[in-house]
Amino acid sequence: MGSRGIYHEGWFASTFGPRTPWVTDLSGLTSWDPQQDRWELFNTRQDFTLARDLAEEQSAKVVEMKDLFMREAVANKVLPIGGGLFTPLNPHESKRSTNTEWALYSGMIRIPESQAPNVRNGNIRAEIEIEAPAGASGVIFAMGGYAGGVSLYAYEGELRYEYSALLLKRDKINIGSLPAGRVNIEFEMRTPFERAAPAEVTFWINGKKAATGTVERTVPATFTAAETFDVGLDTASPVADDYFDQAPFAFNGVIEYLHFQQIFRVVDPANRFDQAFNHIALIVNRKLDRNMGPIPGGNVLIKCRFDFLMFFDSLRIFKAVNQHEKPAIHAVG
């Protein structure tokens, strides 16, 4: 993530890097130059608590330690510096399922988030068939956990939706009453193509629009490293406040099936914007990929790639917002 350091013969040199872990705004990363990072220097044999920074007094030693770090970085394939920032800056390129449709049934649990329908920040539509008893309660589907996750569930005969954005924001929607018997539920989520964008969600019960709402802050890359997608109950930590003390809060009716389908636009081959983007992205991505090996200049190349992608993402966002659609993702290797 850009933070780095090296120890050698009692000396320790380090630099904090560009990202403060508890700050969510990543906009400054695009102008980060790792060559300009300020390094600290400590003599651990005399100052094991790292209380006295000697970088200004012994600048030559700092240069020596930085050079040693670069040699070790090359030897151990650490370069490019900050390569781990690629996913936070480009969450849409995270490794995930290539599926565009999912057919899920009761009892299918612990599905890794990367292989599940993207109900976190996607553009997706679901059709769900259930048999609901009077006063139905229980989870229909859930992904993630309390700190970050989303759940569609019944609570004492009412259909509800809750979205936890890493404890920064919690959105709750009371959708409407669930009639007893066979019930068709439809759910749609539309999210603009930008980091932590608000998403519009819409719900239908038996073909009638029941509720609309806004998830004010979506989670860009992943809810958690260990929580999963579950049908019919909520494993591990519960997403919603309503059933926090009743987890896993299994649905007390019957879930016939859930069918999720990605909403996307087809790239128009006659569109000059799409033609230009596809052509330039193909050339630049391939050229950069060939040159992003363990070389000292790799950090510069990855920064160029960030700038390039952000420029074209901005154009795609502008176009998508006007069309209220998510742009197709052009991932070229």
Give residue limits of the domains in the chain.
Answer: 4-78, 101-262, 267-323
Task: Give CA–CA dist 255/74, Å, rounded.
Answer: 54
Instruction: Give 61: exposed, middle or buried? Use CB within 10 Å, 0-12, 13-18, 19+.
Output: middle
Pick the CATH number of 101-262 from 2.60.120.200, 3.40.30.10, 2.40.10.10, 3.40.50.300: 2.60.120.200
- CA atoms 181, 184, 189, 190: torsion sign: negative
Task: State residue 290's pLDDT score.
Answer: 43
> Fold for domain 4-78?
Arylsulfatase, C-terminal domain (3.30.1120)
- Supply 299's token pair: 């950090």
Q: pLDDT band at residue 294, thresholds of 50, 70 and 90?
A: very low
pTM above 0.75, yes or no: no
Among 55-69, 129-143, 264-278, 318-332, the range scoring the smallest mean pLDDT is: 318-332
Summarised one tens digit per residue, pLDDT across range 17-41 is 887 777 767 677 778 888 899 999 9
Identify the bridge partners of residue 131 per DSSP, sorted by sequence position. 182, 254
Burial class (CB in 10 A: 0-12, 13-18, 19+), 77: exposed
The answer to whether 201 and 214 are in contact (CB under 8 A) is yes
Strand 124-132 to 138-144 pairing: unpaired
Return the ∠ at Cα 278 (arms to 308 and 319), rounded to 5°: 75
Omega before 80 cis (within 30°)? yes
The strands making up 181-190's β-sheet, listed across from edge to edge, are 101-104, 254-262, 124-132, 181-190, 199-205, 208-215
The pairing of strands 170-177 and 181-190 is unpaired
Predicted pLDDT at 24: 67
Q: Which tens digit of pLDDT belongs to each residue from 100-150?
A: 999 999 999 999 999 999 999 999 999 999 999 999 999 999 999 999 999
State how far the Cα of 119 lies from the Cα of 45, in Å rounded to an integer.
52
pLDDT tens by residue, 172-220? 999 999 999 999 999 999 999 888 899 999 999 999 999 999 999 999 8
Is pLDDT above 70 for 71?
yes
pLDDT of 271? 56
